[in-house]
Amino acid sequence: MHRFSAKVSSMKVSIIGGGGLVGSCAGFALQLGKIVREIVMIDVNPEAADGHALDILHGASLVADQSIHAGTMADCANSDVIVVTAGLRRKPDESRLDLINRNVALFRGILGDIKKAGPKSDAILFVVSNPVDVLTYLAIRELGLPPKQVIGLGTVLDTTRLRSLLAQQLSVPPTQVDVTIYGEHGDSMVPIWSLGQIGGLPVDKYPGVTPQLITEIEKRARNSGAEMLKKKGGAGFAVGVSIADVIHSIALDQRRVMPVSSLQNGAYGLRDVAISVPTIVGRKGVLGVVEVDLWPKEKIALQSSGRVLRETIEKVL
């Protein structure tokens, strides 16, 4: 819908981690989206943030009339959406828990800097850094914004990976594949095949779809993060467009149902955890969740995913 929009919203988006791969790809995707008015790149390495901002700016005359520049944490004060992509990579032989603890410490520092800048009362904090569900929960607990204004990228990236890989395998248009992953952005994620469709037709009845194919595609989507790390040092383009997709739903108040991570209060039997379920996303952030019947094994897997996150939260927070 917004692909050919000439209208740019008045939204200002600040990307903390804009000097890195994920943050810079998000900035570029927001430029190509032509929706937000101002894109600010912030990084602990100001040269890198400035370099990426300039590189994106240099193409502005061919894309859209937007303000694109490097900035500082002070820019968070009047930003509509504050995106946090900054994070630490795993060291050789480092345990997952040690990496989580280091990222929690870094993220707490970033939250402190955002607090000091004094975000607007209606600002949305959009968490991308991993472990995204744990950090989203931490931000809800410690930043002081209403919980509905704190969103994590959740399984948005996992979902587009699954859809795009399935489309490639079946030689169908990717935009016609509608299968969504919910739960943790991690090993316990849950693809919801019971509601899946291709071109409006049930996915399990679609020509060429077999239980073996479903297992294979699911495995590839689940391992995509590790594959990107091995082949090119980490994901960039797909996570960039995933971030932009969520921001555009906020900027245009589209109220689309998306698999973002947010605080749960009972839906699907999940409580006191930030996790991805069908979530309505608009200008005010989380506008509600949609609860529908799933296959019993999917609901059990989703609740198990919630328990995995709860255990991690208890260990690190």
Backbone φ and ψ of 188, nearest 5°? -95, 15
Q: Residues, the chain, total?
A: 317
128 is in an annotated binding site: yes
Asked about 185 being catalytic, the answer comes back as yes
59 is in an annotated binding site: no
17 is in an annotated binding site: yes
| Active-site hit among 2, 52, 69, 185 | 185
Contact yes or no for 264/273 (Cβ under 8 A): yes
Contact yes or no for 103/88 (Cβ under 8 A): yes
Cα 247 to Cα 35: distance, rounded to the nearest angstrom: 9
196 is in an annotated binding site: no
Cα 153 to chain centroid, rounded: 2
The DSSP-derived string for 223-247 is: THHHHHHHHHSS--HHHHHHHHHHH
18 is in an annotated binding site: yes
19 is in an annotated binding site: yes
161 is in an annotated binding site: yes
Residue ranges of the binding site for NAD(+):
17-23, 43, 103, 128-130
Residue ranges of the binding site for substrate:
90, 96, 130, 161
| Positions marked active-site | 185
Residue ranges of the binding site:
17-23, 43, 90, 96, 103, 128-130, 161
